[in-house]
Structure 1
Amino acid sequence: MHSNHTLLISISILFILSHSSFSSPLSPLFYSLSCPKTEFLVRASIRSAAGDDPSLPGKLLRLLFHDCIVQGCDASVLVAGNGTERSDPANRSLGGFEVLESTKRLLDLFCPGVVSCADVLVLAARDAVALAGGPSVEVPLGRRDGRVSLESNVRPNMVDTSFSLDEMAKLFSSKGLTMDDLVALSGAHTIGSAHCSSFSERFEQDPNGNLVPVDGSLEENYAMELIQKCPANANPSVTVNDDPVTPTLFDNQYYINLLNRTGLFLSDSILLKDPRTREKVESFAKNQDEFFASWAESFVKLTSIGVKTGGEGEIRSSCSSLNG
């Protein structure tokens, strides 16, 4: 069963790579001559770092999405400084920057100035998913790093957890992603954690200052658990697992949670309520292999958004700053 599952994913990726115009400048073999140990070194670095920080896979996956969805997968979210993407409030809670920086330094010991930070981020997120029990996806490589990182680019492109399905679908469509991609990529919420503020619209304060649920789509006991973890006076740094059942395992539990009305975000619950997405949620909840195959396809599409190649970008010396 495992070999068939792996074969299915490989066939799916080969189909995408051979039929997709937007990924044509990229190739899984891009570094085969210039830095043949690239994938091995990234995988080893991520495995080592995740041993010290079990929350790392969720952080890297979120970091990748926040990079690609804004102005393409060009590592612009990694640039530090005032007025950069990283300084926007939506990105201030991102993590995993230091691991990517150390991975880039490791690669530059073997192949100085060859591997882009954009490719490091894609490979790191890919390997983080596999490390957490998800599928290992063959991804095309050859991205270059963007030379622009502006805070003003973030909000017009970022998905908010309070978005309606139409709002999410419109944004995804503008990036070349379909409704099915939206459902599959939302499965990233099977790992990771979120601050209380990211689902606060599902509650309101009563006259005594206590939080009460206002969202009927949230299962009652789960709603009370969230209130206990995130009371009205909760510390802003408090976080809650996206998936209350298997928070560190990349599996299809996210979709099972949706059926049980224990999806953390409003944008999660909407996928179950809307007939345009409900069938896919139910299907993924029943069949993890189907989810993994769809995830692999959608992940390749996500990581191919707005890539820069050739003279369109640069290979940064440090992921956190643009070259001189």
Structure 2
Amino acid sequence: MSGSIPLLRKPITAISSKPHISPNNLPFKDILSSSYYLNTCPQAEGIIQQKVKAWFQKDYSLAASIIRLHFHDCAVRGCDASILLNYKGSERRALASKTLRGFQVIDDIKAEVEKRCPKTVSCADILTAAARDATVLLGVTFDVQYYKNLGKNMGLLSTDQALYLDPRTAPFVSALATQPDLFFNQFAVSMVNLGNILIPSTPNQKEIRLNCNYVNP
């Protein structure tokens, strides 16, 4: 496929600390900072990119798994890395999460980041950045074939195929199947929207977990 993905190599966006200002009174653009880790952990971007690439070279299917992991995390109460928590009754152990994979990639990244920048980079930001880099590594094999398959009645799930059969959504499927640039743009917009779901508004609503599988003691 030709074209480019608009979210290529955008910096990690993190919640910055502004103790003299109440986050409740700030718009999202002032709470979030795309340069936060450039100052607090400049190695973070490189570590994430290198680790994702190394795992991708071992198993290229992990790229799609990481993107899916990010979606499952953000779709439930926002991008808080709750999908990574591993305990009885957690999202990770739910029936809908049984086929999720790629947790070891995030664990590997987190371990290395903690060595370089202890207690600095959140698991949520690591997962978000890993999904971004995984998309880049797929290279555009990241295409509109999914929508073309729906037009051929080859949807993997009945719920997917219904998108093409329903007159309310069929035009969107056709448009995305025939206009790759439209798909890439809409994908980028959707990823940003996912990242903006229920952003913590106060500092005590978040923590930098030392291990992404568990909350801090």
Q: Normalising by the residue count of structure 2, what TM-score does the alignment of the two structures yield?
A: 0.84
1:243-254 superposed matches below 5 A: 249-254=141-146
1:24, CA displacement in angstroms? 4.7
Judge which range, 305-314 or 42-51, deviates more: 305-314
- Residue of structure 2 equivalent to 1:195: none
Instruction: Confirm or deny that 1:37 pairs with 2:43.
Output: yes
CA distance in 2, matches of 1:32, 1:276: 44
> After superposition, what is the alpha-carbon deviation per residue over 1:195-248, rounded to whole angstroms, capped at 9, x for unaligned?
xxxxxxxxxxxxxxxxxxxxxxxxxxxxxxxxxxxxxxxxxxxxxxxxxxxxxx
> After superposition, what is the alpha-carbon deviation per residue over 1:249-274, rounded to whole angstroms, capped at 9, x for unaligned?
21111111111111111121111122
1:66, CA displacement in angstroms? 1.3
CA distance in 2, matches of 1:103, 1:27: 21
Instruction: Confirm or deny that 1:319 pairs with 2:212.
Output: yes
- Residue of structure 2 equivalent to 1:120: 126
The alignment covers a number of residue pairs equal to 197
- Residue of structure 1 equivalent to 2:171: 279
Which of the pair has more CA radius of gyration? Answer: 1
Name the SS for the 2:73 alignment partner: helix
> After superposition, what is the alpha-carbon deviation per residue over 1:266-285, rounded to whole angstroms, capped at 9, x for unaligned?
12111112222211211111
1:1-324 superposed matches below 5 A: 9=6, 21-22=27-28, 24-134=30-140, 249-308=141-200, 310-324=203-217
Name the SS for the 1:275 alignment partner: coil
**Do the aligned residues in 2 keep the contact of 1:23 with 1:304 (CA within 8 Å)?**
no
- Gap regions ≥5 residues in structure 1: 14-20, 135-248
1:93, CA displacement in angstroms? 2.1
- Residue of structure 1 equivalent to 2:14: none
CA distance in 2, matches of 1:26, 1:263: 37
CA distance in 1, matches of 2:51, 2:86: 22
Quick one: structure 1 residues 271 and 24, their matched pair in 2 at CA, closer, same or farther if it must change by over 3 Å? farther
CA distance in 1, matches of 2:103, 2:199: 20
CA distance in 2, matches of 1:120, 1:89: 24
- Residue of structure 2 equivalent to 1:197: none
1:23, CA displacement in angstroms? 5.7
- Gap regions ≥5 residues in structure 2: 11-26
1:37, CA displacement in angstroms? 2.4
CA distance in 2, matches of 1:98, 1:118: 15
Q: Normalising by the residue count of structure 1, what TM-score does the alignment of the two structures yield?
A: 0.57
Quick one: structure 1 residues 298 and 84, their matched pair in 2 at CA, closer, same or farther if it must change by over 3 Å? same
Query: Which amino acid counterpart does residue 187 of structure 2 have in structure 1?
Result: W
Quick one: structure 1 residues 265 and 23, their matched pair in 2 at CA, closer, same or farther if it must change by over 3 Å? farther
Name the SS for the 2:57 alignment partner: helix
Give percent identity, aligned residues only.
39
1:32, CA displacement in angstroms? 1.4
CA RMSD of aligned residues (A): 1.9
1:81, CA displacement in angstroms? 1.5
* 4+ long deviations beyond 6 Å: none
